[in-house]
Chain A
Amino acid sequence: MISSNLSAIFYLISGILFILALRGLSSPDTSRQGNYFGIAGMIIAIVVTFLSVGNFSNSLVYVVIFLLVGGAIGAFIAFRIPMTAMPELVAGFHSLVGLAAVFVAIAAFLNPEAFNLGIVGGIKLASLIEMSIGAAVGAITFSGSIIAFLKLRGIMSGSPITFGGQHFLNLTLGIGIFVLIYYLCITQSANIFWTVIMISFIVGVLLIIPIGGADMPVVISMLNSYSGWAAAGIGFTLENTALIITGALVGSSGAILSYIMCKAMNRSFVSVILGGFGADSSSDTTKEKKDQKPVKSGNAEDAAFLMKNASSVIIVPGYGMAVAQAQHALREMVDKLKKNDIKVTYAIHPVAGRMPGHMNVLLAEANVPYDEVFELEDINNDFANSDVAFVIGANDVTNPVAKTDPKSPIFGMPVLDVEKCKSVLFVKRSLSPGYAGIDNELFYKDNTLMLFADAKKMTEDIVKNLE
């Protein structure tokens, strides 16, 4: 058994190690070391907890068993998960953090003596507020992440679910939670505590169902943030520095990512949360345009010819590449091009894919060196000097309408200036619009060649034609 002062120092150290873990991610070179700092911080926190409780009875054996069972499941998932499923995995993990926060809060409520928070029916006021906020945020994180997981996994439709009075209902429930917490503090009633948790589960579901599939980068970041705040709430209850520091770090990290994602879509955070994007933007003019305008379409042979004769090619990957699992074929194609002394770079829009940095991970998986991959602002000027832009699975993020048509729902969104390239190859299954529900002008430009096919199949065919 170690003194609580000593254990507090160790918790502080583990908090600092977590900060260093995030700091390491500022460059891929230091990132692996950063991850080890994180692991070290976690080990310190767990060992110190064992020592400070100092109970080495049967319970300890069971704790270790449960820890290893969970660890084995986690390790199994981590090794088996394909990189394309990373968004679902992260959403699933968020839900576990949320539920763990709820369970810890419940345990603390049922047995406050174990945590030094008073006795049953006489829990310290501050602790009661902290644990109910922790439980409520945790419950919202849990059910919200489950919905996000189902949507990303495709089990639930990605289209927004909206109904009349939705915002009013959410607001009422939100206020209800605070009122109930107030009464909980007066009465210490267990029933009110359970009700708070139940309502929070419902709020989580209601918050996420109106948000459409392509707004998922924001949702995942937001739930990331929530899981942090839930951890911090529990950290205050348990008076644990490691948890408070970590909760604050994760909370602000998720908030920043949400902000970056919203900015990359030129949407306000509020409008994403209120949801329903794309539902009202299907103006009939776009349909007419589609019938009138001619589209040039080509095959793999044309594409291979164009690229062979180019001196520089920029690849623009998007979610469609992830769906088709085309990243390895793409890499093969790029290898062929490089053999012909063609300069190839990758351009990534911040919201390409279903979570922040999704495309970067997939390209890294396909062994694409990270110094060939560029972010929007670093590469956008290069399109004008390049011969071919190869758009694979991206759509709205290349739409020039965002710069020209103030009436368009995506007006003002930063887009990749693909149309400035001498020629554009656009791999797509059909002319159907992207998630924003708007037509892409790029399809009808004179210098665009549409390649109608599955991304993976088309890329493989191009590889064959490059022989």
Chain B
Amino acid sequence: MEIDPFIFRLSIFILSIFIGYYVVWSVTPSLHTPLMSVTNAISSVIIVGAIIAALAGSSESVFDVSSIFGFLAIVLAAINIFGGFLVTQRMLQMYKKKKDKKK
């Protein structure tokens, strides 16, 4: 019997939780705030769903009921992607070692 593709996705999901578990435990506590802002940015990869929804409108009617929700989601996710990565970058630039500072 063939395995349902759902099971494959579930396997990816479960394994990713384990990867997340080990990777996040190794994050140094001083970088926990950047961790939150970067996880924020990457979870906005949900924008792929928004793009699919937005592009689904036909060329005569770019904005139908469902594509409008897609467009709105694109704006929200884009705020997060740009805002999240840039603010993370801004924070990480500030972390300096003693040596860099003095000489």
Interface residues of A (CB under 8 A from B): 11, 14-15, 18-19, 21-23, 25-28, 31-32, 34-35, 38-39, 41-42, 45-46, 49-50, 53, 55, 57-60, 62-63, 66-75, 77-79, 81, 83, 86, 89-90, 93-94, 96-97, 99-101, 103-104, 106-108, 110-111, 113-115, 126, 220-221, 224, 227-228, 231-232, 234-254, 256-257, 260, 348, 350, 355-358, 360-361, 364-365, 367, 369-373, 375
- By a CB distance below 8 angstroms, the chain B residues around A26 are 26-28
Known: A28-B28, A257-B32, A356-B36. A19 touches B19 (CB 8 A): yes
Q: Which residue in A57, A59, A227 is a CB contact (below 8 Å) of B40?
A: A227
Q: Which residue in A115, A361, A369 is a CB contact (below 8 Å) of B52?
A: A115
Q: Are A97 and B89 neighbours in the complex by a CB distance under 8 Å?
A: no
Known: A45-B48, A66-B75, A107-B53. A74 touches B98 (CB 8 A): no
Q: Which residue in A75, A232, A260 is a CB contact (below 8 Å) of B82?
A: A75
CB nearest to A241 among chain B residues = B12
Q: Are A31 and B95 neighbours in the complex by a CB distance under 8 Å?
A: yes
Q: Are B92 and A246 neighbours in the complex by a CB distance under 8 Å?
A: no
Q: Are B36 and A220 neighbours in the complex by a CB distance under 8 Å?
A: yes
Q: Are A369 and B78 neighbours in the complex by a CB distance under 8 Å?
A: no
- Binary A-proximity of B73-99 (CB < 8 A = 1, otherwise 0): 111111111111111111111111110
Q: Which residue in B12, B42, B58 is a CB contact (below 8 Å) of A21?
A: B42
CB nearest to B93 among chain A residues = A32
Q: How far is the CB of B98 from chain A (nearest CB, A)?
A: 4
- By a CB distance below 8 angstroms, the chain B residues around A89 are 37, 83, 87
Residues of B12-33 at the interface with A, using a CB-CB cut-off of 8 Å, are 12-14, 16-17, 19-21, 23-33
- By a CB distance below 8 angstroms, the chain A residues around B14 are 248
Q: Are B75 and A252 neighbours in the complex by a CB distance under 8 Å?
A: no
* A contacts with B: majority SS: helix
User: Please, how many angstroms separate the alpha-carbon atoms of A235 and B49 in the complex?
Assistant: 8
- By a CB distance below 8 angstroms, the chain B residues around A19 are 19, 23
- By a CB distance below 8 angstroms, the chain A residues around B96 are 364, 367, 369-370
Q: Which residue in B17, B32, B73, B86 is a CB contact (below 8 Å) of A107?
A: B73
Closest 9 A/B residue pairs (Cβ): A70-B78, A357-B32, A74-B83, A74-B82, A114-B56, A248-B16, A252-B20, A107-B53, A356-B32
- A69-B75, A89-B37, A126-B6 provided; 16 other pairs, C-beta below 8 A? A23-B26, A25-B38, A35-B89, A49-B51, A49-B52, A55-B56, A71-B82, A93-B37, A93-B83, A97-B44, A104-B50, A114-B66, A241-B12, A243-B48, A245-B13, A256-B25
Q: Is the CB of B65 closer than 8 A to any CB of chain A?
A: yes
- By a CB distance below 8 angstroms, the chain B residues around A234 are 46, 49
User: Please, how many angstroms separate the alpha-carbon atoms of A70 and B73 in the complex?
Assistant: 10
Q: Are A252 and B32 neighbours in the complex by a CB distance under 8 Å?
A: no
Q: Are A97 and B54 neighbours in the complex by a CB distance under 8 Å?
A: no
- By a CB distance below 8 angstroms, the chain B residues around A42 are 41-42, 44-45, 81, 85
Q: Which residue in A53, A103, A243 is a CB contact (below 8 Å) of B76?
A: A103
Size range of the interface on B? 35 or more
Q: Which residue in B20, B53, B67 is a CB contact (below 8 Å) of A251?
A: B20
Q: Which residue in A23, A74, A97, A370 is a CB contact (below 8 Å) of B86?
A: A74
- By a CB distance below 8 angstroms, the chain A residues around B34 are 25, 31, 357, 361
Which of B14, B20, B81: most chain A CB closer than 10 A? B20
- By a CB distance below 8 angstroms, the chain B residues around A62 are 54, 62-63, 71
CB nearest to A69 among chain B residues = B75
Q: Which residue in B29, B48, B62 is a CB contact (below 8 Å) of A240?
A: B48
* B contacts with A: majority SS: helix
Q: Which residue in B35, B47, B86, B89 is a CB contact (below 8 Å) of A22?
A: B35
Q: How far is the CB of A146 from chain B (nearest CB, A)?
A: 13
Q: How far is the CB of A392 from chain B (nearest CB, A)?
A: 18
Q: Which residue in A71, A244, A355 is a CB contact (below 8 Å) of B16?
A: A244
Known: A22-B23, A22-B38. A100 touches B97 (CB 8 A): no
User: Please, how many angstroms separate the alpha-carbon atoms of A369 and B96 in the complex?
Assistant: 5
Q: Are A71 and B69 neighbours in the complex by a CB distance under 8 Å?
A: no
User: Please, how many angstroms separate the alpha-carbon atoms of A157 and B6 in the complex?
Assistant: 45
Known: A53-B55, A367-B101. A227 touches B87 (CB 8 A): no
CB nearest to B19 among chain A residues = A19
Q: Which residue in B46, B69, B82, B101 is a CB contact (below 8 Å) of A369?
A: B101
Known: A111-B56, A360-B31. A243 touches B51 (CB 8 A): no
26 CB-based A-B contacts, threshold 8 Å: A22-B23, A22-B27, A26-B28, A31-B31, A32-B89, A42-B41, A45-B48, A58-B62, A63-B71, A69-B78, A74-B78, A78-B84, A97-B76, A101-B46, A104-B46, A106-B69, A114-B66, A228-B43, A236-B9, A241-B9, A256-B21, A256-B25, A355-B32, A364-B94, A369-B98, A375-B30
Q: Are A59 and B59 neighbours in the complex by a CB distance under 8 Å?
A: yes
Q: Are B24 and A104 neighbours in the complex by a CB distance under 8 Å?
A: no
Q: Which residue in A23, A107, A367 is a CB contact (below 8 Å) of B69?
A: A107
